[in-house]
Amino acid sequence: MRNPALPQSSAPYADALTAHAREPWLRLNVPGHAADPEAFADLAAFTGEDQLRLDVPPLLDGVDLGADSPRAKALRLAAEAWGARRTWFLTNGASQGNRIAVMALRSLGECLVVQRSVHSSVVDGLVLSGLRAAFVQPGVDRTLGIAHGVTAQDLATALAENPDAAAACVVTPSYFGAVADVRALADAAHAAGVPLVVDEAWGAHFGFHPELPRNALALGADLVISSTHKLGGSLTQSAMLHLGDGPFADRLEPVLERVFQLTQSTSESALLLGSLDLTRRRLATGTDALGRSLRAAELVREQIRDRGRFAVVGDGFAEFPDIVAADPLRIPVDTRAGGIPGHEARWRLMTEHQVLVEVATDSAVVAVVGAGSAPDVARFVAALHALPVTVPPGRGPERPELPVPGEMRMTAREAFFAPSRSVPAHEAVGQVSASTLAAYPPGIPNVLPGEVITAELVAFLQSTAATPGGHVRGASDPEVQNLRTVTPSWSARCSTSCAGSPRRA
């Protein structure tokens, strides 16, 4: 798989695609715009003429086809850069990578030991694969209401309680930049005889600068999902899936390839693929640019500390045993300490200052600095401190508590496909959810298909939805007045008929 003769400074796929686009083709194939900026003037004005020419179909000679094609070379270079045995380019985000991983793990067993605060796409994978989940609860900062990671001891305990586990799945770093001890987690998984899967969506840049944490593959992970478009800087919706060169690789590789073919579009975007090739080159050769980004992020944190109104969430990470490091390109800010809820802060930053941040919870916002970017530090710090005080500084009793997940009575697949109905939210309490709902932060589910809906969950979701800028992903109505639940008679029937399949809350 290695190709040492090809340097990381090259971009074989992007270069071949660019060369192809420069030729005066008479395009009688798809896409239908045929790279004609006159006939499709509105599209050309929207995307730019160069993008029309680069928007080509897959399976082109000289670009995609062949064992030594530019595309194959780009994939080998990516595997080399991240230290993988093999890498796949994805055009439906890291969400696709999570679904591929979980579906492929079905070949190893029937149970997945999984961190409860994983992305909803992992839950999608449970629905698609039918795997039973045994959840490991993450450490939680109850003051701020945010989840972090899991410890190796907790993972080892869960694996010991589930000897039929196919694999262990964790997420690191977290939305807030908390980095787990991947080496210890890998050792725990391997001691139990299973691979470790790491959703490293937020850590695509790890390992490319001495001030950054090492990436999960370098620390013993067997399968890693990388949302390269996040902080890596490729185009939105592009990502990578990396297979480590460990003891499970021979068995996993062929099934991963089959599931990749099952999930990847046959009309994958050349623009997204090309952006992955260029991003790999920039990360592998851009140490100086990364250094500038790291200095900018640290300057923001320093100025926030100096002003004293707000707090930097990462400054408290040392209190948690599940955190061993922090991503320095993440700037998590405790906004309630400065007298404004996180959702409102995010909304006001956008509407009043034209400043966009990545994540908001009731207590915090998270700004991110892309690997290689150089943001206007003064503008962000000034906008943040111009926000009004709308609640008493600190975290008063009015802050909704992060709800503890309800009991898991059905597998995600059973609940997803079971007969269901929409009921008023207050009537849904005690019933089994048929949906995945996520209000904290976008992507991490507060309730899964198969989990019991609690009164605390309903209050949390409705409180989030009522906050300016608040949003509940997966809700059937914006105010979360109704919830979709499994028909009670079906839930009882399934709980009885499936009693031989143990489930963990």
pLDDT of 194-214, one tens digit each?
Answer: 999 999 999 999 999 999 999
H helix runs in 286-395, sequence order: 287-307, 342-353, 377-386
Which pLDDT score, from 0 to 100, does residue 377 have?
Answer: 97
In angstroms, the CA 423 to CA 448 distance is 17
**Does residue 423 sit within a domain?**
yes
Q: Same structural domain for residues 51 and 129?
A: yes
Which has more confidence, 499 or 65?
65
Q: 79 lies in a domain? A: yes
Last residue of a domain, one of 337, 352, 386: 386
pLDDT above 70 covers a percentage of the chain that reads 94
pLDDT tens track for 137-171: 999 998 888 899 999 999 999 999 999 999 999 99
**Structural contact between residues 3 and 80, judged by C-beta atoms closer than 8 angstroms:** yes
Q: Are residues 42 and 56 in the same domain?
A: yes
Q: What is the pLDDT of residue 396?
A: 57
pLDDT band at 395 (very low <50, low <70, confident <90, very high): low
**What is the pLDDT at residue 1?**
46
Quick: pLDDT tens for 91-138.
999 999 999 999 999 999 999 999 999 999 999 999 999 999 999 999
Give the CA count within 13 Å in the CB-facing half-sphere of 431: 24
pLDDT band of residue 444 (cuts 50, 70, 90) is confident
Is there a single domain that holds both residue 218 and residue 171?
A: yes
- Specify whether 307 is located in the same domain as 243: no
Q: Does any domain span residue 404?
A: no
**Is 143 a domain residue?**
yes
What integer is the mean pLDDT of 456-483? Answer: 89
The share of the chain scoring above pLDDT 90, in percent, equals: 86
pLDDT at position 440 is 60
**Do residues 232 and 269 both lie within one domain?**
yes
Q: Tell me the average pLDDT across 300-328.
A: 97
Could you tell me if 195 and 101 lie in one domain? yes
pLDDT number for residue 173:
97
- Tell whether 1 is covered by a domain: no
Give CA torsion, residues 218, 222, 223, 228, to 10 deg: 0
pLDDT score, position 264: 95
- Report residue 492's pLDDT band, with 50, 70 and 90 as the boundaries: low
In this prediction, residues 423-429 reach a mean pLDDT of 96
Query: Both 339 and 247 in a single domain?
Result: no
Q: Which residues of 137-167 are buried (b: 16+ CB within 10 A; e: fewer)?
A: bbbbbeebbbbbbbbbebbbebbeebeebbb
Listed range (34-43, 143-152, 220-229) with the worst mean pLDDT: 143-152
Tell whether 368 and 430 lie within a shared domain. no
The position carrying tokens 């410890």 is 151
Specify if 430 maps to a domain.
yes
90 with 109, same domain: the answer is yes
pLDDT for the residue numbered 496:
39
Number of domains in the chain: 3
Tens digits of per-residue pLDDT, 348-369? 999 999 999 998 888 999 999 9
Output the pLDDT for position 505. 30
| Domain-embedded: residue 5 | no
* pLDDT band for position 502 (cuts 50, 70, 90): very low
170's tokens: 């964790």
Neighbours of 389 (CB within 10 A): 10
Chain mean position to CA 123: 12
Residue 288's pLDDT band (boundaries 50, 70, 90)?
very high
Residue 299 has pLDDT above 70, yes or no: yes
Mean pLDDT of the chain: 93
Looking at residue 362, its pLDDT comes to 86
DSSP label at 335?
Answer: S
Same domain flag for 336 and 476: no
Provide the CATH number for the domain around residue 320. Answer: 3.90.1150.10
Q: Show the tokens assigned to 36.
A: 């004609």
Q: What is the CA radius of gyration of the chain?
A: 23
Based on the fold, state whether residues 52 and 142 are members of the same structural domain.
Answer: yes
Query: With bands split at pLDDT 50, 70 and 90, how would you rate the model's confidence at 470?
Result: confident
Taking 90 as the threshold, does the pLDDT of residue 401 lie above it? no
Q: Mapped to the 3 state alphabet, what secondary structure does 338-358 carry?
A: HCCCHHHHHHHHHHHHCCCCC
Mean pLDDT of 41-63: 95
- Gap between the Cα atoms of 415 and 413, Å rounded: 5
Residue 440's domain comprises: 412-497
Residue 219 lies in a domain: yes
**Mean pLDDT for the stretch of residues 236-246:** 97
504: pLDDT strictly greater than 90: no
Q: What is the dihedral of CA 158, 162, 164, 167, to 10 degrees?
A: -10
Structure tokens at 381: 């710090």
Q: Are residues 310 and 165 in the same domain?
A: no
Between CA 301 and CA 384 the distance in angstroms is 12
Q: In this structure, what CATH number is given to the domain that contains residue 125?
A: 3.40.640.10
Last residue in a domain, options 285, 313, 348: 285
pLDDT of residue 497: 40
From 249, 267, 285, give the residue that closes a domain: 285
